[in-house]
Amino acid sequence: MKLLRRVLLFAIVLAAVAGLAAWTCPADLAYRYFGDRLAPLALRDLSGTLWQGRAAAVELFRQNLGALEWRVQPGPLLHGEAIAQLTLTGEGITATGVADRGADGEVSFRDVVVRMPARIAAPVLAIPALELLGTIEIDVAQARAHGAWLDQASGAAYWRDAAVAGAAQARLSDLQLTFASADGGMISGVIHDLGGPLQADGTFTASLGRYDAQVRLAVRGDDPRVTEALQYVGQPQSDGSRQLVIEGRQLGLF
């Protein structure tokens, strides 16, 4: 009986030591063994532990996104589920959210908030005469990754304090894009203004490898600065509005 008790106590001690070792395992050591599973994501200059740490640089397809901090919740690990609170800080970009990798290997996200300068969207809008001012905020309520794409997603994106400079200077209306999953693995959305001198109405769709949007823009009221700025945007229509068409190709989610 004493022998059994000692064996049990020894097993408990071993489990405690193993758990402590795992909990305090340096992040860089763990990355050496499991880092290849994150590809095409790469972490550089790691510090802290596997459960709470920091990567000075996060590279996606060899592009530096910024520094990443994480904190893994211990409880769900007992059920084979990994849930981590993530914070990404880059050049003018911040992002926070929760990543959840279930026991079946499926990865989902929730409560994701991304903020970045509006100028980052300039290559997408392709309006070289105008400099985009303000902040873009993306709120993703929930999303599920399928390979390099999101087969489920819902949320909204905002252009706050929207304005332009350059060939023309004008304060615009704040814009909102609401999006949700659609048939065929697509994500579709509706674009509209939130009140102000610029009237905007349009639609947006994105799928693996392609995105496009069509937005009708018009001056609300009589604002000469907005009228001047619109001369550099889209194509003129018979009713005085402008039609902005955005098309492009992308590599999956990234």
Q: Cα–Cα distance between 110 and 170 in angstroms, integer? A: 35
Q: Cα–Cα distance between 34 and 238 in angstroms, integer? A: 59
Domain of residue 30, residue span: 26-105
Confidence of residue 231 (pLDDT cuts 50, 70, 90): very high
Whether 19 is in a domain gets the answer no
Q: Cα–Cα distance between 49 and 23 in angstroms, integer? A: 7
Whether 12 is in a domain gets the answer no
Last residue of a domain, one of 50, 79, 105: 105
Which 3 state secondary structure label does DSSP give 11? Answer: helix
Task: Check whether residue 252 and residue 144 sit in a common domain.
Answer: yes
Question: What is the total count of domains within the chain?
Answer: 2
Check pLDDT > 70 for residue 201: yes
Last residue of a domain, one of 75, 105, 135: 105
pTM equals 0.78
Task: Check whether residue 158 and residue 219 sit in a common domain.
Answer: yes
Check pLDDT > 80 for residue 100: yes
Whether 9 is in a domain gets the answer no
Please name which of 217, 208, 220 lies closest in space to residue 251, comparing C-alpha atoms. 208
Share the mean pLDDT of the chain.
82
Whether 30 is in a domain gets the answer yes
pLDDT the model gives residue 16: 38
Task: Check whether residue 114 and residue 238 sit in a common domain.
Answer: yes
pLDDT the model gives residue 10: 39
Task: Check whether residue 101 and residue 145 sit in a common domain.
Answer: no
Query: Residue 176, Cα to own-chain centre: how many angstroms?
Result: 16
pLDDT the model gives residue 40: 61
Task: Check whether residue 113 and residue 225 sit in a common domain.
Answer: yes
Regarding predicted confidence, which is higher, 6 or 79? 79
Confidence of residue 65 (pLDDT cuts 50, 70, 90): confident
Task: Check whether residue 208 and residue 139 sit in a common domain.
Answer: yes
Task: Check whether residue 123 and residue 92 sit in a common domain.
Answer: no
